[in-house]
């Protein structure tokens, strides 16, 4: 496997990372996951804007953000997956600092890592809907930053897998925030609800696309929290994410939703999303 590391394309086993890298010692870094459809990165600029936002919020300077498109396609070519759909993982850490200190120096060189990986088609698994479980949101209060410090999400997703679920959905003070790696939507009386943007959720790129598609197609949508007790009142749910796309939720903990069938509005939104991808635009 060829990866991009600090300005070079290298075989994976030639990459050397210092144990004094602040990413290794403090999870002091940020990341993005992107994907291609039909030879183009989906919503590339939205991902780069979010990366810029995460970096700014952490007072972290990196000026070559526009190179990731080229780097991704170079890597795809080198790894012989050019003609296929692939995902891109970009990670930047603040860099190496010796000796170890909590406070960071201002002038460090970031450690930059990019890797690509072929996407094997998984739509069939997702079309029929998935099970999710609910958990208290124990993450920090800057979930708007796509930090690599995501241990609560790692634990939550692992618990989901253990319970044969696809995802864990977090709630904080009785309000549903989002999933460990997805945004969460519920439908009640024909209106779609999802948590509002704040420091408690990530501004999902797919979330934004779905909101705009709903507006364009006159599907009522409200960026309003779903209360944990109101889950009973909703008759459809779905989750969104770059790799998850629009995935119906047909079971929440022990509650089977709507005879375990994806809801009507969810199917409509999923179809609009598919059409949008195929239309090959990069933003709504
Ligand atoms: N929420 C969290 C916590 C995430 O980690 C992710 C993606 O990784 C999402 C939501 C979905 O975001 P996107 O649609 O940009 O992939």
* Per-10-residue mean pLDDT, the chain, length 284: 98 98 98 96 98 97 94 98 96 98 95 97 78 98 98 98 97 98 97 98 98 98 97 96 97 91 96 92 44
- Ligand 1 atom nearest 146 alpha carbon: 5
With beta carbons less than 8 A apart as the criterion, state whether 42 and 36 touch.
yes
Q: List Cβ neighbours of 219 (8 Å cut-off, separation of 6 or more).
A: 192, 213, 265, 268, 269
- For helices 205-216 and 264-278, give the axis angle rounded to 10 degrees: 100
**Residue 115 CB-density burial (10 A; 0-12 exposed, 13-18 middle, 19+ buried):** buried
Ligand 1 centre distance from Cα of residue 33 (Å): 9
Ligand 1 binding pocket mutation candidate from 137, 149, 157, 242 (most atoms within 8 A of CB): 242
pLDDT at 283: 40
pLDDT at 260: 84
* Active-site annotation holder among 146, 159, 271, 281: 146
194 Cβ inside 6 Å of ligand 1 = no
Give yes or no: 84 in active site. no
With beta carbons less than 8 A apart as the criterion, state whether 84 and 130 touch.
no
> What is the chain's length?
284
pLDDT at 281: 54
147 Cβ inside 6 Å of ligand 1 = no
54 Cβ inside 6 Å of ligand 1 = no
Ligand 1 binding pocket mutation candidate from 181, 200, 209 (most atoms within 8 A of CB): 181
């Amino acid at each position: 496997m060829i990866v991009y590391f600090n300005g070079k394309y290298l075989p994976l086993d030639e990459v050397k990372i210092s144990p004094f890298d602040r990413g290794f010692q403090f999870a002091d870094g940020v990341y993005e996951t992107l994907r291609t459809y039909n030879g183009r990165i989906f919503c590339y600029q939205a991902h780069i804007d979010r990366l810029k936002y995460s970096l700014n919020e952490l007072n972290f300077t990196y000026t070559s953000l526009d190179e990731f498109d080229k780097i991704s396609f170079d890597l795809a070519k080198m790894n012989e997956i050019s003609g296929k759909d692939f995902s891109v993982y970009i990670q930047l850490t603040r860099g190496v600092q010796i000796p170890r200190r909590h406070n960071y120096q201002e002038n460090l060189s970031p450690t930059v890592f990019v890797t690509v990986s072929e996407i094997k088609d998984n739509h069939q698994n997702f079309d029929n809907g998935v099970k999710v479980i609910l958990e208290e949101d124990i993450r920090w209060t800057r979930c708007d930053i796509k930090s690599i410090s995501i241990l609560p999400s790692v634990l939550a997703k692992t618990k989901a897998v253990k319970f044969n679920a696809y995802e864990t959905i977090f709630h904080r003070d009785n309000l549903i925030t989002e999933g460990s790696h997805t945004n969460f939507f519920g439908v009640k009386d024909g209106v779609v609800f999802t948590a509002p943007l704040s420091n408690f959720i990530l501004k999902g790129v797919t979330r934004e696309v779905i909101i705009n598609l709903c507006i364009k197609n006159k599907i009522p949508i409200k960026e309003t929290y779903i209360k944990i007790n109101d889950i009973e009142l909703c008759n459809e749910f779905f989750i969104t994410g770059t790799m998850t796309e629009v995935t119906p939720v047909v079971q929440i903990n022990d509650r089977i939703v709507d005879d375990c069938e994806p809801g009507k509005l969810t199917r409509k939104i999923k179809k609009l999303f598919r059409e949008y991808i195929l239309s090959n635009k990069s933003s709504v």
